[in-house]
Amino acid sequence: MYNITKLSLQYIHSHVQEISAVIEHLPSGKAPGIDGIDNLLIKTIHKCFNNIFPTLFNKCLHLSCFPDSLKIGNIILFQKGGEDQRLASSYRPISLLPTIGKELEKFMTHRLTYHLESTNSLNYRQHGFREGKSVDTAINELLRNIKTARRDGKHVLVLSIDITGAFDNLQHRAILKTLDASACPTNINRLFHSLLQNRKVTLLTPQGRATKEQKQGCPQGSCSGPALWNLVANEILNQV
């Protein structure tokens, strides 16, 4: 990934190298969003005209505007194996987002993550969705705490919680509140505000296409979901 310097973060413009690093890592064979533009087409366009997407992203940053057409999620339902097909809970919804919108969102998320990590804003106990951390580092920390407590003659209580539909139920107002408090670069902050406004999902039904506004949660397939979840969860970890 392109190395963001403090200077580039301060002036907040995207660079050709930065956008190229994002586009070059686009996986092949992924289904496109509702606009029908797939990753191969994006790569081909960028290879021939490498200023198009940096210019577009910089204009979005300048206007603090995430275009509505780039944040429409096309919902595809996959039935869970062995589940009753008559029940809504038996299906897993996948949101196919426009590729250009996903790349803009990935660019924003990269900038947000850089800010949070470079300023040590995330609680050290947050091991999920962070570079250099994983379930293994979380377990190792737990084992160290247990060993230390046993050595000191103390008892240890482990409380395990599974948050059902964490990304689906993430409240937009909580995201925006923590973003505002994070001292995130202003244009990135405003662009995330724009991303969460007027976001829609659409589903093809026997009666035609149904479209609804998405007022909470992050769509499955949204690359900013993990970073935004960490941002909101960070407030909880800081209180523990």
In 3D space, the residue among 115, 117, 131, 120 whose CA is nearest the CA of residue 191 turns out to be: 115
For residue 12, the model assigns a pLDDT of 56
187's enclosing H/E stretch is helix 186-196
For residue 6, the model assigns a pLDDT of 46
For residue 11, the model assigns a pLDDT of 46
87's enclosing H/E stretch is none
CA atoms of 56 and 61, how far apart (whole Å): 9
Sheet containing 208-213: give its strands across.
91-96, 72-79, 200-205, 208-213
CA atoms of 39 and 164, how far apart (whole Å): 32
For residue 70, the model assigns a pLDDT of 95
Tell me the pLDDT tens digit for each residue of 177-199: 999 998 888 889 999 999 999 99
For residue 1, the model assigns a pLDDT of 46
Res. 89: pLDDT tops 90: no
Pairing of strands 72-79, 200-205: parallel
Tell me the pLDDT tens digit for each residue of 109-164: 999 999 999 999 998 888 988 888 999 999 999 999 999 999 999 998 988 888 87
Tell me the pLDDT tens digit for each residue of 207-234: 999 999 988 888 776 888 889 999 998 8
For residue 4, the model assigns a pLDDT of 45
E-state strands within 56-116:
72-79, 91-96
For residue 145, the model assigns a pLDDT of 93
For residue 22, the model assigns a pLDDT of 85
Return the domain boundaries, the chain: 16-238
CB-based burial label for 49 (10 Å; 0-12, 13-18, 19+): exposed
CA atoms of 189 and 114, how far apart (whole Å): 13
CB-based burial label for 97 (10 Å; 0-12, 13-18, 19+): buried
Tell me the pLDDT tens digit for each residue of 33-65: 999 999 999 999 999 999 999 999 999 999 999
**pTM of the complete model:** 0.83
66's enclosing H/E stretch is none
In 3D space, the residue among 106, 124, 115, 119 whose CA is nearest the CA of residue 234 turns out to be: 124
Three-state DSSP class for 143? helix
Amino acid at the residue 97: L
Amino acid at the residue 239: Q
For residue 32, the model assigns a pLDDT of 92
Tell me the pLDDT tens digit for each residue of 4-41: 444 444 445 667 888 888 888 888 888 899 999 999 99
CA atoms of 176 and 184, how far apart (whole Å): 11
Res. 103: pLDDT tops 80: yes
- Residue 226 CA, chain-centre distance (Å), reads 5
